[in-house]
Structure 1
C-alpha cells in the first residue's frame, strides 16, 4: 500500500463525520436505502447469470461473452443520452424508472434461465434492456448526491452510500452463491428483479426541490434534437478541459476492457474448471466486497492532498487477483488479493466521485459523468467479446495473465500525466472547475 502521510498537511485533519445527521435526513436515507437494494440485486446477478448461462444446454464461454457484451454495448450506446436526461429532468425520477426497467429485464432473464428455455436472442434482448436502464443510473446518481448532501460533507456522503452498497454486495454475493448452488441461477435472478423493484419504490418516495435544467427544454418540456446536441457539446467542453479527468478515463477504458473479460468470463471459467464452481468464485467476489467495506471505513477519515494521484496509484491493486489466477495460485491467495483490490477500488471510487462533485458545475455534472462512464466502459464490450474465444483458443490462464499486464501498464501511463500528479484537493465549497495550482487548496478547518 502507498503511504499517504506525505500527501497530507497538518491543516487537513478529517472533518467530524456527520454520519447520524446524514442518516436522519429523509432524502439521503431514502437514497441510501434505494442504492443498497439496487446493489443487492447487482450482487446476485453476476454469479446467477454466469453460472446460469454456462449451465444451459449447449452453452459455452462464448455464449456468456455474447450476452454480457450485449448489455455492455447498450450501456455504452445510451450513456451520453442518459447524462443529458439526468441533467434535464429530476434525477430521482430518472433513477426510479431505471430501477423498474432493470427489474423487468431481470425478471425476463430469471424466467428464461429458470425454465431452461433461453434462446440466445432472448437473453441478448433482456441484456440490452438492462444495459439501457443502467446507462441512466450512473450519471443520475453522480448528479443527485450533491442535491441531498451538503458540499462540506460530500466525501462522507459518498462513503456512507458506498458502505451501504458494499454491505449489500457482500450479502448478495454470499446469498447469491448459495441460491445458485442450491436451486439454480433462475431463482437468484428473480430475487435480483424483486430487489430492483423495491429500489425503485424507495426512489419514488423521494421529494426533491425543482432545479434549473441544464438548458431550456421548451415550453412543453420536450427535448429537441438540437438541445440534446448543444447539451452534449457543453458537457464535452467541461470534460475535455480537465486533463486529470480525461487521462484517467483513457486509463480506465483499457483497465475496464480487461477487467470485465477477467472478472465476468475468464475468472468464472477457471473457477468452474479448477476451483470448485460457483462457491469458489463467490469466495473471490466476497473477498473483494469485504475489501470494499474496509475501503469505505478508511475513506471516512482519509483526506489526501492529491486525491487523483493517490486514486490512480491504488488502481494497481486491480491486477494481482487475475495474475494469480493466471498462474494457478491457491484459492485463498486469490481471495486475499481480491480483498486488497476491493480496498483499492473503493478508495479510488470515493475520491474520484467527491473530486468530480466538487470541481464540476452542478448543472453539467451528470453529462460530465456520462462522458466519464462512456469513456471508461466503451472498450468493455471488446474485452467481453474476445474473452470467451481467447479462453477456448489460448486457455483462460494465459488470457488472465495478459489482462493483468494491461492493468499494470495502463496505470503507469496515467501516472505520467501532470494533471493527475498535481491536482490538489479542492475546497468543499468550490463549484468551479479548477486546474492544478502551485499551492494546495485546503478544506476549511
Structure 2
C-alpha cells in the first residue's frame, strides 16, 4: 500500500516513557486510503516524479563541490576564500535543519521541496553569474549562505517524503532505488564536473547545477500529494511542534542511541579520513592511489544499494550496525601503512556496509516513526550527528601532531568500531522488524 497522508496520528505524549522493553509501535494506515500498490513504488506516478526530480537534483549537487572549488580558485586563487565560501554554506545548513524539520512536518513536503529547489536554483544561478563575470568573492558569501539555508530546509523534507509515496515492503525498495541513483551520481558526477570545469570553467558547471535545481523543482511540482487537514485554533504552534519533535526523539532510545553513535563515528571518520587520509596517502600510495580508494568506496555503496532493492532482512538492525564496523577498517589500515589494494578493498566493503545501513535506517524510520513527525525526528537525527564533525576535523591535526598520525588513525578506527556496537545494547533496537508479510 502507498500512504500519502496519515492524519491524525497518536501524539508523541502518548508514547510510553520506557521504550526499551518492546519494539516501537509500527506506523500503519489502511491500504484503501491511497489505492496504490504495496511494494511497487515505481507504479506510483508521484514517486516517479519524485525519483526523476531527485535524480536530476543529485546529479547537479555532486558536481557542485568540484565546480565551486575550482571556480572560486579560478577567480581568487585563494584557499582562504574557498574555505570562507564553503563555511558560509555549511553553517546555515546545519543551523536550519531543526527548523526545516518543523516546516516539512507542518506543510506539504512536495511543496516544500518545490520551493526549496527553486530557491537553491536561483541562488546557484547567482553564484554562477558572479564566477563567470569575475565579481569580487565577497559577493559569493550571502548567496552561499542562502543556498545553505535552502539545503537545511530540504533535508528534513527528503527524510519524510518517502513515507508519503510508499509503504510496507515498498519503503525499502523506494529507499534503495533512491540510494542507487545517489551512488551512481557520486561516481559519475565529480568526473563530469571536472571535465566541465576544465573545458568551459567552474562557473558554467555551477550554472548546470543551478539548472538541475530548477528542473527538479518543476518535477516536484508534478507530484501533487493530497493537502493536509485544516489546523484547529487550539493546534500546536511551530514552536510547540518543534518541542513535540524533540520530545519524541528523546523518548526513543532506538533512535537517539544510534544518533549518538554516529556523532562519534562521524567526528572520527571525517577527521581521520578527510584530513589525515590525503596526508598519509601523499606519503604512501600517492594521489592516484587515493583516488582509486575513494572510487572503490563509491562502487561498494552502489552495489549495496542495488542489492537492497530485492534483499529482505526481517530484523536488520543487528547486522546493519555490526557491518558498520567495517567502516573503521580503512582508518586502521591508513594508520598501518597498507597498500592501495588493501585500502581499496576495505573502502569498497565500508561503502557497501554504509549504504546497507542507510537503507535499513531510512526504512525503519519510515516504518516506526509517525508520519507527521518524520521530518522533525529526521532533522534531529541529522543535526546531532552532524554537529561534532567540525570538532573532529579541527582536533585531528593537533592530535596527530601530539601522538603521531598512525596512532591517531588506528585509535580512531577502534573508537569508531566500538561506537557502532554500543546501540545494540538497546533491546528495542535489536527487535525492530521491517518487510513483514502483513504489510
- Summarize the alignment of residues 251-400 of structure 1 with structure 2, pairs less than 5 Å apart: 251-261=261-271, 283-324=292-333, 329-331=338-340, 333-384=342-393, 390=397
Q: Does 1:426 align with 2:428?
A: no
Equivalence for 1:415: 421
Instruction: Output the CA distance in 2 between the equivalents of 1:334 and 1:117.
Output: 42
Change (3 A) 1:268 1:117: farther
User: Aligned partners of 2:304 and 2:184: how far apart in 1?
Assistant: 12
Give the distance between the partners of 2:336 and 2:198, measured in 1 at CA. Answer: 27
Tell me if 1:107 matches 2:125.
yes
What is the aligned partner in structure 1 of residue 115 from structure 2?
A: 97
User: Are the structure 2 counterparts of residues 175 and 126 from structure 1 closer, same or farther at C-alpha, using a change threshold of 3 Å?
Assistant: same
Instruction: Quote the offset at 1:276 in angstroms.
Output: 7.3
Alpha carbons of structure 1 residues 322 and 354: separation in structure 2 relative to 1, 3 Å = same
| Alignment CA distance shift 1:369-1:152 (3 Å) | same
Change beyond 3 A, Cα 1:126–1:258? farther
1:180-235 alpha-carbon deviations (Å, 9 max, x no partner): 4444433332222221221111111111112347xx3759xxx9xx7122111211
Q: Is the 8 A contact 2:38 2:168 kept in 1?
A: no
1:422 deviates by: 4.7
In 2: Cα distance, 1:129 partner to 1:104 partner = 10
CA deviations over 1:305-324 (Å, ceiling 9, x no partner):
43222222232233344555
* Paired position in structure 2 for 1:5: none
Alpha-carbon distance in 2 for matches of 1:124, 1:386: 26
State the alpha-carbon separation in 2 of the partners of residues 353 and 384 from structure 1. 26
Over residues 75-111 of structure 1, what are the superposed CA-to-partner deviations in whole Å (9 max), with x where a residue is unaligned?
Answer: 2211111000000111011111222222233333434
Supply the distance in 2 between the matched residues of 1:212 and 1:140 (Cα, whole angstroms). Answer: 18
CA distance in 2, matches of 1:322, 1:157: 31
Partner of 2:22: none
Listed as ranges, the gaps of 5+ residues in structure 1 are 1-17, 429-441
Map Cα deviations across residues 298-341 of structure 1 (whole Å, 9 max, x no partner): 22233334322222223223334455556665555544433222
- Report deviation, 1:282: 5.6
Give the whole-Å Cα distance in 2 for the aligned partners of 1:379 and 1:37.
Answer: 30
Unaligned residue ranges in structure 2 (runs of 5+): 1-36
Decide which of 243, 259, 268 is 2:253's aligned counterpart: 243
What is the Cα deviation at residue 26 of structure 1?
0.8
- Structure 2 length as normaliser, TM-score? 0.78
Q: Which residue of 1 aligns with 2:168?
A: 151
Is 1:200 the counterpart of 2:217? The answer is: yes
Q: CA deviation at 1:124?
A: 3.6
Q: In the superposition, relative to structure 1, how do residues 281 and 27 fare at CA in structure 2: closer, same or farther (>3 Å)?
A: farther
CA–CA distance in structure 2, aligned partners of residues 79 and 245 of structure 1: 17
Q: Is the 8 A contact 2:38 2:167 kept in 1?
A: no
How do 1:155-234 and structure 2 match up within 5 A? Answer: 155-212=172-229, 216=231, 227-234=237-244
- Length-normalised TM-score, structure 1: 0.77
Deviation at 1:136, TM superposition (A): 1.8
Secondary structure (helix, strand or coil) at the match of 2:418 reads helix
Partner residue in 2 for 1:133? 150
Aligned residues: 401
- Root mean square deviation, CA, Å: 3.5
User: What is residue 142 of structure 1 aligned with on the other side?
Assistant: 159
Residue 407 (structure 1) shift: 5.0
Query: 1:74 matched to which residue of 2?
Result: 92
Moved more, 180-189 or 28-37: 180-189
1:24 is displaced (CA, Å) by: 3.1
